[in-house]
Amino acid sequence: MTGDAPATLWISSAGKDARSGVAGDTVLLGLPLVTRAVLAGERAGFERIVVEEAAGLDLRRLLAGTRAEIAARSAAAPDPGPGRLVILPENVIPQVRWLRELRQRTREPRPDTGARGEPESRDRFAIASAADLARAQDWLLESLVKDTEGFMSRHVERRISLAVSRRLAATRVTPNAMTLFSVGVGLAGALLFLSSRLGAPLAGAFLVLLHSILDGCDGELARLKFQESRLGGVLDFWGDNVVHSALFGTIAIAWSRASGQTWPLLLGAAAILGTILSAAFVYRHTMAQVEEGPLFTSVSRSPDSPFSRLADALARRDFLYLLVVLAAFGKERWFLAMAAPGSPIYFLLLLAIARAGRRRETPAAEESARVAVRVNNSGS
C-alpha cells in the first residue's frame, strides 16, 4: 500500500460494560470520547471512519454532524477493502498529528490501550480507568501550549488561560465569542488611559494584559472542540491589532491633553501606522495564503531564518508586562515613546524578511525550471 491509498479509521467500542469503566459517551473537556476520536480522524484525513456499535451508547446522537459510519459489533476483524486500516480503541485519546502519521505509514501498528493509562507517546493517551480522566484532561490542555511561545506566555499566561478554558470547555461559549469578549476587555483597558483619576492607567494596563491572557482561550477552545475556522483566525488576529492601536491612541491623547501640545499625537499616529502596516503585511503574506484555519505560528513563511526568529520574538506580547510596570510608576508615556519608532521599524524588518525570502526562492525556482527544460529536452 502507498501513502495515497484510501484509509479507514475503525473505532472499536467496549460499551458501558468496559473493563476500564470509561465508555465512548464519557465527556472530556466538552466532547464525548468517541466524538473526539471521530473529529480527530476527520482532521487527520481518513477517507472513511467507522465506529463499532456498543451496548448502551446512542451513537447516532454522539456522531451527529460527523461523517462517521456505524457498524454492527462483531468479533471478526473489519475488512477495509483495498486501503489501509487503523484500529483505535475508544479509550485511546488521539492527537490529530498522530493519526495523520498512522494514516501515512506503509504499515501501522494497532494502538495498544496501555496497562495503566500512561501516554505511550506524546500524541496519544490511553485511559485504563475513570481515575485517569483528570490526567487525560491535563494532557490535552498541555498539548495546546505552542513551542513558539515566549517565557511569560508559557509560564504565566498559559497557566491562567488553560484554567479558564478547562472550565469553559463544558459550556456553550464559542471561540469567537471568547475572542470578542477578550477584545472588549482590551478596549476597556485602553480607554482607562484617558482618565485622569489616580490609578486608572495602571488598571487599564492590567486589563490590557488580561485581554492578552484571555485571548489565548479562543484558540484553546477551538482546538479542544475542533471548532477552528478561518473567520475565528481572522477575528483573533485583527482583534489584537485593534486593541494595540487603541492603546497607542489613548496614551497619545492623554499625553497631548496633559501637555497642551499636539506632538504626542504624532507619536501615537506613528505607533498605530506601524501596527496597521505590519498587520496588513503579515495577513497578506502569510495568513491570506492559508485557506483553512488559519493557524498562525510565525510572521514569515520562512520561520527558521535569523530575521524571522527575531521578528517572531518581537511579535510576542511579553511587552505588555513592561506597560504594567511603567503604568505603576506613572510612566506609561515611555511605552508610547518606545512604540512610536519601534512599530515602523518592525514593519521595515518584515519587509526585509520578505525580500530575503524572495531572493532565496528565486534561485530555487530558476533551478527547477532548468531541470524541467533538461527533462523535456531529453524526452524529445
Residues 170 and 289 in one domain: yes
179 and 119 assigned to the same domain: no
> Is residue 339 in a domain?
yes
CA distance 313 to 319: 10
Are 297 and 148 spatial neighbours (Cβ–Cβ below 8 Å)?
A: yes
Q: Which of 131, 164, 190 is the C-terminal boundary of a domain?
A: 131
Q: Which amino acid is it at 192?
A: L
Output 156-163 pairs: Cβ under 8 A, ≥24 positions apart.
157/212, 157/213, 157/216, 158/216, 160/213, 161/213, 161/214, 161/215, 161/216, 161/217, 161/220, 162/216, 162/220
Amino acid identity, position 19: R
Determine, yes or no, domain membership for 24: yes
Instruction: Count the alpha carbons within 13 Å of 64 in the hemisphere toward its beta carbon.
Output: 5
Residue 235 resides in a domain: yes
User: Hey, CA dihedral for 350, 356, 357, 359, is it positive or negative?
Assistant: positive
- Are 91 and 159 members of one domain? no
- Classify residue 371: in a domain, yes or no: no
Q: Is residue 380 part of a domain?
A: no
Domain co-membership, 65 together with 155: no
pLDDT digits (tens, 9 = 90+) for 249-270: 999 999 999 999 999 999 999 9
Q: From CA 116, how far away is CA 324, in angstroms rounded?
A: 46
20 falls within a domain = yes
In this structure, the answer to whether residues 166 and 96 fall within a common structural domain is no
DSSP state string for 148-160: T--HHIIIIIHHH
Residue 379 falls inside a structural domain: no
What CATH code is carried by the domain that includes residue 36? 3.90.550.10
Q: How many CA atoms lie within 13 A of 292 on its CB side?
A: 4
Total tally of structural domains belonging to the chain: 2
**Contact in structure between 227 and 218 (CB atoms under 8 Å):** no
Q: Are residues 216 and 332 in the same domain?
A: yes
In a shared domain, residues 117 and 202 = no
| 347: containing domain | 151-365
Residue 252 belongs to domain with CATH number: 1.20.120.1760
Domain match, 195 and 268 both: yes
Which residues are bridge partners to 32 per DSSP?
A: 27
* pTM, two decimal places: 0.81
The owner of cell 504565566 is: 156
> Are 182 and 278 part of one and the same domain?
yes
Q: Is 374 a domain residue?
A: no
pLDDT in tens, the chain (380 residues): 444 568 889 888 755 445 556 788 889 999 999 999 999 999 998 988 988 888 778 888 999 999 998 888 765 556 666 678 888 888 899 999 999 988 887 544 444 443 333 334 578 898 888 888 999 999 999 988 877 677 777 778 889 999 999 999 999 999 999 999 999 999 999 999 999 899 999 999 999 999 999 998 999 999 999 998 888 888 888 999 999 999 999 999 999 999 999 999 999 999 999 999 988 888 887 766 555 544 444 555 555 555 555 555 555 667 889 999 999 999 999 999 999 999 999 899 888 877 877 776 555 545 554 444 343 444 44
* Judgement on whether residues 118 and 45 belong to the same structural domain of the protein: yes
Do 119 and 158 reside in the same domain of the chain?
no
Residues 288 and 211 in one domain: yes
CB 116 within 8 A of CB 128: yes
